[in-house]
Structure 1
Amino acid sequence: MARERDFTDPRIPNRDECVLRYLLDRWADERPDKAHVVFADGEEWTFSELRKKVRAKAAGLRELGVRQGEHVAMWLPNGRDALIAFYAINYLGAVFVPFNTAYRGNLLRHVIANSGARILLVHPDLLPRLSEVDTAKLERLVVTTGQLPESAPLPMTAYDDLVGDSEDDLPLERPIDPWDIQSIIYTSGTTGPSKGVLSSYLHMFTNAGPESWPMVDENDRYMCVAPIFHIGGMGPPFVMLARGASVAMIDNFSTDEFWSIAKATQSTMVFLLGVMATFLLKADPKPSDKDHTVKKAFMVPLTSDAQAFHERFGVDIYTIFNMTEISSPIVSEANPDRIGTCGTVRDGVDVRLVDANDCEVPVGEIGEMLVRTDRPWAMNSGYNGNPEATAEAWRSGWFHTGDAFRRDEDGYFYFVDRVKDAIRRRGENISSFEVEADVCRHPCVREAAAIAVPSEYSEDEVMIVVAPVPGKAIDCKELAEFLIEAMPYFMVPRYIRILDELPKTPSAKVMKTDLRAEGITDDTWDREAAGLRVKRENFST
């Protein structure tokens, strides 16, 4: 028998399908003994056990005065405390506001002020950084891990003491609705102060719900290696909770231990972001490469190594385009054969590629991606405390992603670049993403960033900044010769700079603004100065 609907609009799911509190209660009643969370050390929490832990911590938060709709900040690494805090904050109908554990200085000051939180759950090792900044509206620190330190910039409560009655059903002022704000996730801030993305429960649900990720079902176990302060780390527990499924919470990504941990936790799906797939594929082959339980993997971006990864590890590969603000508008089928694609538009989404005046560009041409959804509240609700940025992003009734794409005649989309990262060299538009993909095919390159630097002629020259695979060295001349054979003449980088690590934001995005500002440094290798020139191909007959 179908359940009675909570809402008359058929596009809005019931509360117990998309709101965290009601989802947890539903599965704790219907599937009390099914594991929802497993850890690398073998510990498991069933839905019933998890609800008791969450209710006890939520009751403790309520005793501190946390109320429905209040913003509660969390500054914790991945682990049991962080997951329980996330669920407990939402169980009260409060807004979960996680901070990146790398934050400090001006960035930390900014997010504290923007969050509007008066309570911060924090790891004791991070407390010294709080002493260096204005703590704005913060009134109390809830400190994890053992005994409270002797001093702190604000009154403290021990996290372990924050416990109430696990049988308390914690009555609410009103039901939590799908359009209520669930979280504020801070973006990387590569071109300005980090923006706090306001996400509703319905946004989080649509982000990876049945219509967005149809390849995931209740029998899957999602191995989460991303930090919980990113959408990539906070989203998986929510994704699997919505399906009554499970998640393996892992502290961090490790190339050497990845497959053994996946097997030990019986994980069936993973998300491979950035260089993670590259690290795994460039590791030495082993007889045990297929001895694991993983069946499905998202690979973002989809590189030319995708087929080799599928064959070597026996994993079906999917790819996707998404960002914190939207809800998976572009998703691929299993093992797509169009390298570089992000997939096609899923049901319930409209996508346009436009020029600088928001006019649609023809098929095959490059334009900024604009997105909107059929379902209300299925994307971000704006930027917290930043109406100017909200208005700019949502102008004309479409969300402007800031990403440049092209679309082929079959409806497949291909990421080209961040709009502000495009390179133009001698009349040709160059995708830094495509340059980086070719550079990373070299066996000694772990990661790469392509940037524009001034040319003595006109427009730009292409420069790449690369980091080596551990234990290997990059020879600039050999790399340039490799690229001459791999890419069109106009894309071949003139300049190569080698760093041990590329500079990154606290959300692990490469700081191209810093690299561009440094420009051509004394340690930069110049292909033309080395006598290695690339001539334009002549196809005339």
Structure 2
Amino acid sequence: MLNLSIILEDSAHHAPDRTALVFGALRLPYSMVNSIANQVANLLAARGIGRGDKVALLCPNVPYFPFVYFGILKAGATVVPLNVLLTPREITYHLTDSDAKAFFCFEGSPELPMGARGREAAGAVPGCEHFVVLPATPLATESEYGEALWAALDGMSGEFETAQTSPDDVAAILYTSGTTGLPKGAELTHQNMLINTLVSDQMFPADPEGDVSLAVLPLFHSFGQTAVMNVSVRRRAALVLQPRFEPGQTLELMREEKVTMFAGVPTMFWALLSKIHADGGEAPRTLRVAVSGGAACPVEVLKDFESAFGIAILEGYGLSETSPVASFNQLSRPTKPGTIGFPVWGVQMRLVDDAWNTVEGEGPGEIAIRGHNVMKGYYGRPEDTAEVLRDGWFRTGDLATRDEDGYYSVVDRTKDMIIRGGFNVYPRELEEVLMTHPAVSLVAVVGVPHPSHGEEVKAYVIPAPGATVGEEELVAWCKENMAAYKYPRVVEFRESLPMTATGKILKRELRP
């Protein structure tokens, strides 16, 4: 018997009165979160949903997310968390592809009508028999979109005996963003996710006073789910929920709640620093741990953060398919800024070529991973699974180098690499150089079609506040600072760059 929900049950048993969730003025203790999750589990059991059944959850970072997430796990079912920005057509696809029998959906707002979208999608999927609305108004028992959670939970016991699940049972199906083709559901087992939570938790000493973790990374995403929510629950910390990243509000929450742990993607750290510099404000001083992942963090941002906050950002690496944490700059050895560290406990990494042969020495090669964190496979897609999994090794699609101490550095996504006139150009390398220019605040480099070179290098630049640099001047500077075959010939200035809900720059939207 192994069930990921043990992390909540253990914390509720040993520290029932400790604050588990902070949301605005709301402070909810571990005992209450656990008993509401038990009610959700009882509700599912009463509706005939149990071990092996799939239950979708579309919900921002509000208390409903952990209530329902752990309730689904306790019932022995599989959680299918969905991106809150999905359209009805996309939700229908995910519900159908995952064979979801039930769907818990947040009501949303006029700007983001999740309830209306969810209702429409659920109506189009015959197999999805139960649609439960998570009302935007606290404790509301009615909703225009269907059965409200609080009405459904009425009369349900706050006690529940967790279903017997095996280590290899699927705890969650996490959909990859689908940069190529349709999104695929990575099946993560209870063992995958529990060990990843334990290993991630043990990398940082706990604060004797009790940690306070800020959840602004979406909890529907693997990074927010494991490294923020599950680690926080496991270490009996207080989890401060922020539904939407807004740098000013994030800094305010850090100060007010005395946040000790923060995980984000590079664009979030960049935005926090931009806000501090723009306001001439002081950075919060309670942070003990700052973790970056999801994409490589520009070295300029790492330097700036350390001087503003007084602590270094620790970079790690992982994917939905690896639960997600695979490597990290762990405290047992010196941190190397700009690297993704070395494999975490119980995980192996190597570099491979296109034919799966091991690349010795520095590389570059594609990262392959083996260990307790590697997914079972893509749900219902044996061919796609066979393409990326071999003898327990998972190939990631990320190109990296490795130094003599075994630290890895991501060069780029294999699909982001630009081939210009037969030469390989790695956008990440050029972005790092461009970020050192005083007039450049943020940059994304992509390949655009070219009649004779195949691809040309183009940079999209958000200028630094008050900066006045022209395209020609910046191209000339690049020419001086980069090899002739790789410097961008085209620069386009933008006020913002397209980003995913998790804050990653969407390069596919920048390509023509």
TM-score > 0.5 by shorter chain: yes
Task: Give distance in 2, aligned partners of 1:72 and 1:58.
Answer: 11
Task: Give distance in 2, aligned partners of 1:238 and 1:266.
Answer: 20
Give CA-to-partner distance per residue, 1:202-245, whole Å, 9 cap, x none: 21123342367512536432211012211122222211222333
Are 2:289 and 1:296 equivalent residues in the alignment? yes
Are 2:111 and 1:121 equivalent residues in the alignment? no
SS in 2 for 1:421: coil
Task: Give distance in 2, aligned partners of 1:283 and 1:441.
Answer: 19
Give CA-to-partner distance per residue, 1:412-450, whole Å, 9 cap, x none: 211011112212334542211222233344455554332
Residues 109 and 372 from structure 1, CA distance in 2 versus in 1: closer, same or farther, beyond 3 angstroms? same
Equivalent in the alignment of 1:358: 356
Are 2:266 and 1:266 equivalent residues in the alignment? no
SS in 2 for 1:350: strand
Equivalent in the alignment of 2:326: 329
Match of 2:367 among 359, 369, 372: 369
Task: Give distance in 2, aligned partners of 1:347 and 1:83.
Answer: 27
Contact in 2 for aligned 1:60/1:164 (Cα 8 Å): no
Equivalent in the alignment of 2:222: 231
User: What TM-score results when the alignment is normalised by the length of structure 1?
Assistant: 0.83
Contact in 2 for aligned 1:36/1:247 (Cα 8 Å): yes
Task: Kindly report which structure 2 residues correspond to 1:196-275, keeping only aligned pairs within 5 A, or say none.
Answer: 196-210=185-199, 214-217=203-206, 219-235=210-226, 236-275=228-267
Contact in 2 for aligned 1:302/1:342 (Cα 8 Å): no
Residues 319 and 248 from structure 1, CA distance in 2 versus in 1: closer, same or farther, beyond 3 angstroms? same
Task: Give distance in 2, aligned partners of 1:356 and 1:417.
Answer: 15
Contact in 1 for aligned 2:42/2:157 (Cα 8 Å): no
Task: Give distance in 2, aligned partners of 1:135 and 1:443.
Answer: 53
Residue 71 of structure 1: how far off its partner (Å): 0.9
Task: Give distance in 1, aligned partners of 2:176 and 2:87.
Answer: 15
Contact in 2 for aligned 1:344/1:411 (Cα 8 Å): yes
Contact in 1 for aligned 2:176/2:184 (Cα 8 Å): yes
Give CA-to-partner distance per residue, 1:339-361, whole Å, 9 cap, x none: 42111223322211111111122
Range with bigger deviation, 441-450 or 191-200: 441-450
Give CA-to-partner distance per residue, 1:375-421, whole Å, 9 cap, x none: 4xx32111112111111110243101111111122222110111122
Range with bigger deviation, 315-324 or 123-132: 123-132
Task: Kindly report which structure 2 residues correspond to 1:80-99, keeping only aligned pairs within 5 A, or say none.
Answer: 80-99=63-82
Task: Give distance in 2, aligned partners of 1:336 and 1:189.
Answer: 35
Are 2:76 and 1:76 equivalent residues in the alignment? no
Residues 414 and 68 from structure 1, CA distance in 2 versus in 1: closer, same or farther, beyond 3 angstroms? same
Match of 1:465 among 454, 460, 465: 460
Task: Give distance in 1, aligned partners of 2:275 and 2:390.
Answer: 46
Contact in 1 for aligned 2:55/2:102 (Cα 8 Å): yes
Mind listing any 5+ residue stretches in structure 1 that lack a counterpart? Answer: 1-5, 7-14, 519-541
SS in 2 for 1:209: helix
Task: Give distance in 1, aligned partners of 2:49 and 2:509.
Answer: 40
Task: Give distance in 2, aligned partners of 1:459 and 1:194.
Answer: 28
SS in 1 for 2:385: helix
Task: Give distance in 1, aligned partners of 2:438 and 2:172.
Answer: 40
Equivalent in the alignment of 1:308: 304
Task: Give distance in 1, aligned partners of 2:169 and 2:386.
Answer: 20
Give CA-to-partner distance per residue, 1:461-515, whole Å, 9 cap, x none: 2112334568877732343344345544433201123344434455554443343
Q: Which amino acid aligns with 1:120?
A: F
Residues 90 and 397 from structure 1, CA distance in 2 versus in 1: closer, same or farther, beyond 3 angstroms? closer
SS in 2 for 1:77: coil
Contact in 2 for aligned 1:206/1:212 (Cα 8 Å): no
Equivalent in the alignment of 1:343: 341
Are 2:315 and 1:319 equivalent residues in the alignment? yes
- Give RMSD over aligned pairs: 2.8
Q: Which amino acid aligns with 1:126?
A: M
Residues 513 and 302 from structure 1, CA distance in 2 versus in 1: closer, same or farther, beyond 3 angstroms? closer
Residues 417 and 114 from structure 1, CA distance in 2 versus in 1: closer, same or farther, beyond 3 angstroms? same
Match of 2:166 among 169, 177, 195: 177
Contact in 1 for aligned 2:201/2:235 (Cα 8 Å): no
Contact in 1 for aligned 2:315/2:338 (Cα 8 Å): no
Task: Kindly report which structure 2 residues correspond to 1:44-83, keeping only aligned pairs within 5 A, or say none.
Answer: 44-83=27-66
Equivalent in the alignment of 2:9: 25
Task: Give distance in 2, aligned partners of 1:496 and 1:147.
Answer: 54
Task: Give distance in 2, aligned partners of 1:112 and 1:412.
Answer: 40
Equivalent in the alignment of 1:532: none
Residue 100 of structure 1: how far off its partner (Å): 0.9
Residues 311 and 46 from structure 1, CA distance in 2 versus in 1: closer, same or farther, beyond 3 angstroms? same
Equivalent in the alignment of 1:194: 183
User: What TM-score results when the alignment is normalised by the length of structure 2?
Assistant: 0.87
Equivalent in the alignment of 1:158: 148
